Amino acid sequence: MAKAFKFGDDPWDPSHRFETSWLVSPYVLFAVRAIISLYAFTTIFFVLGWQCTHPGKNVAYACENSASSFSFFTHLTYWGLAFYFLVASVHTFTYARWHVALLDKWPRPLQALHAFFYSTITCYPFLVTAVYWGLIYGALPGWFPTAFGAWSNIAMHAMNSLFALFEIVIPRTNPSPLVHMFWLIVVLALYLALAYVTKATKGFYTYAFLDPSLQKNGLVAAYVFGIAVAILIVFMLVWGLVWTRRWLTESKMGMEGKFAKGGRPMATSHVSAWQDDRGDQHEMVSTTNFAKHRNSARFS
């Protein structure tokens, strides 16, 4: 349990896995991440604006639905996606331009939190997509009656998982530390508290399956427990996909990564506890093999 509260003291991301890809150059990775961030933020603010200008019936003020959106897990995780791709694009650009990512200069706690940020945006979107289309959409009378409703729900409940899949498949990131499972559950527990605070302060349940008056005895607890188990399953599936991508592209295909022109990863005999499993020498092998093909000076 003590490990869950440690930020680690090993070398941080020695081969710049967060800023590089096995398939595209750092500049291309930066551009795609920036475009995804721009699309996500555009979606968020367009939805907020549309809800304010089309308030619907039985609302106390024009932007009531927009204000209420901050209580929904879907919207909160979509904000997370937008900010992650913004921050990741900045780190990728600084690495591509100066061979040192801004992330490399951050304090270790912020680096560790960035690694956990990656775990959240590669796991929660799949949970949101599964819960929405599996539980919530089925209770609707049919397909969305307006183009706005169809687009906004597809953007937030389907494209969110596509964005997550991009981060799983394209960058060179390592499988997340298993301790992140604990913190994913903690964040879900905090959201559950927020949902009931919303009920107490605003008078509504964010999701019907959290409303005891609509569920049989114990069914709310079953839903909550089921979602907790689901995020652990999602984490392990994502972990396996990232491991498989790394094994397939690097070990089998020999595509160790496209690095910044003139730069090279810092050679090290250590493996970051936040980036690889203890005892896994894959990071050292990848870094050593790359160094054999680059003779440029080590950057500071």
- Residue 99, classed as helix, strand or coil, is coil
247's tokens: 């094994």
Please tell me the pTM assigned to this model: 0.87
* Residue type, position 79, single letter: W
The per-residue pLDDT of the chain, averaged, comes to 87
CA–CA distances in Å: residue 84 to residues 70, 91, 130, 137:
18, 11, 21, 27
CA–CA distances in Å: residue 175 to residues 139, 179, 234:
36, 11, 13
Are the beta carbons of 275 and 115 closer than 8 angstroms? yes
Q: How far apart are the first and last CA of the chain?
A: 35
Sequence-ordered list of residues with C-beta below 8 angstroms from that of 104, at least 6 positions apart, any chain: 12, 13, 16, 95
Domain boundaries, the chain: 16-259
What is the C-alpha to C-alpha distance for residues 184 and 3, in angstroms, rounded to an integer?
A: 15
Query: pLDDT tens digits, residue range 24-43?
Result: 999 999 999 999 999 999 99
pLDDT of 240 strictly over 80: yes
pLDDT of 139 strictly over 60: yes
Outline where the chain has alpha helix (H).
Answer: 26-53, 64-68, 73-98, 108-131, 147-157, 159-169, 180-202, 219-246, 282-293
pLDDT of 272 strictly over 90: no
pLDDT of 259 strictly over 70: yes
72's tokens: 């929904």
Picking from 230, 126, 211, the residue whose alpha carbon sits closest to that of residue 168 is 126
Residue 281 CA from chain centroid, whole number: 26
Give the highest mean pLDDT range of 4-18, 56-70, 93-107.
Answer: 93-107
Predicted pLDDT at 142: 84
Q: 21: which strand partners?
A: 171, 258
Once rounded to an integer, what is the mean pLDDT over residues 255-281?
56
Q: 258: which strand partners?
A: 21
